[in-house]
Structure 1
Amino acid sequence: MVDTHSRAYLLAARRMVWCGILLFVLGLAGVAYSHSDGAMSWECEPTCRRVESGLWNTVGMAGALSAVTGLVLLVAAFLMVMLRRPRPELENEGG
């Protein structure tokens, strides 16, 4: 069984929180920028319409995947901390 009160366990949970926050924020930024006006161009053949390149579509998909991964890491770290086993109580031997 894993010692849920060890320093290594809490350090792993802390790293998961910070990595989750970083991935979530970077993912949201990637999604937001890929759907902004800078990523869209105009194509005017018979009529003008806005188009998105394949590269920006890929950036948006990678950003969405990164945001979901970050959110999963945050939830897992939260559960690691909140659902720890209680400390074993020491029994007093003798009197």
Structure 2
Amino acid sequence: MVDTHSRGYLLAARRMFWSGVSLFGLGLAAGWSATGRWATSWDCDPTCRPGTSTTWHVIEFTALAVIVLGTALAVSAFLMIMLRRPRPRPESDSSRATE
């Protein structure tokens, strides 16, 4: 079993949480830039209409995936901390004497 009260466990959960928060923010920034006005250009073949390049579509899809990954990391780290097992109760000498 994993010792959920060890320093390594708590450090790993803390790093997971902050990595998830930073990935979430990075995904939001990338998604916002992919939907910005500079991501679209006007294609005037027979008619003029706004068009978005394939690169911006890939950035938008990747941003969505990073947002989902960041959210999953942050939530799982939060649950790792909140749902830890309680510390085992130390057995005292008086309980052994009565047996």
The TM-score bracket by the shorter chain reads over 0.9
2:42 aligned residue: 42
Gaps of 5+ in 1: none
The one-character-per-residue Cα deviations of 1:36-65 (angstroms, maximum 9, x if unpaired) are 101110111222111110001111111110
- The Cα RMSD (Å) is 1.0
Gaps of 5+ in 2: none
Name the count of aligned residue pairs. 95
- In the superposition, the TM-score normalised over structure 2's length comes to 0.92
SS in 1 for 2:93: coil
SS in 2 for 1:42: strand
2:77 aligned residue: 77
Larger radius of gyration: 2
Identical aligned pairs, as a percentage?
A: 52
